[in-house]
Amino acid sequence: MEAETLQTSQDTLLFVDDEPLMTNLFETFMGKRGFHVLTAASGAEALQIVEREKDNIQLILTDMSMPGMDGLTLARELAILAPAMPIMLATGHDADIESTAGLSNIVSVVRKPYQNRVLAEQIREVLDAHKRGRQ
């Protein structure tokens, strides 16, 4: 059992990544921290989930590099579908960070590979800031 105190949360995250191992690890790790996690293996699947669940999702974390629809294109589509939804973009490439300019729904860029505890803290900070902004 982990030594850290696990926090509870009513927040739902949508994690978008085409690698099943990453999706499973994220879902397990964040689930242990009290988050409800929805997953999508593609940008198209993520859009379908958001159409159904947008009132229940507090944050989306998407990989930048995916076949079909990449994370940046997904963020552009989500800016229309759910403009207030905060998006964290995950990438392992510096050039990707520069391409996020002008997209106000991207609130953070996360470096890959993830450090789980750091990622959980970043997610909590984004969620807390987003909640304060809505009050």
Q: DSSP assignment of the chain, as one string?
A: --SSPPP----EEEEE-S-HHHHHHHHHHHHHTT-EEEEESSHHHHHHHHHHHTTT--EEEEES--SSS-HHHHHHHHHHH-TT--EEEEES-HHHHHTTTT-TTEEEEEESSP-HHHHHHHHHHHHHHHHHHH-
Residue type present at position 81: L
Structure tokens at 117: 């505890």
d(CA 37, CA 13): 5
Band the pLDDT of 6: cuts 50, 70, 90: very low
pLDDT tens-digit series, residues 8-30:
568 999 999 999 999 999 999 99
d(CA 29, CA 48): 24
Residue 35, pLDDT > 70, answer yes
pLDDT tens-digit series, residues 54-113:
999 999 999 999 999 999 999 999 999 999 999 999 988 765 555 555 677 888 888 888
Residue type present at position 10: Q
Is the model more confident about 4 or about 89?
89
Residue 37, pLDDT > 50, answer yes
- Among 9-13, 47-51, 114-118, 131-135, the range scoring the smallest mean pLDDT is 131-135
- The dihedral sign for the CA sequence 99, 101, 103, 105: positive
Band the pLDDT of 114: cuts 50, 70, 90: confident
pTM of structure = 0.87
Structure tokens at 65: 């590099």
CATH of 12-134, picked from 3.40.50.300, 3.90.1150.10, 3.40.50.1820, 3.40.50.2300, is 3.40.50.2300
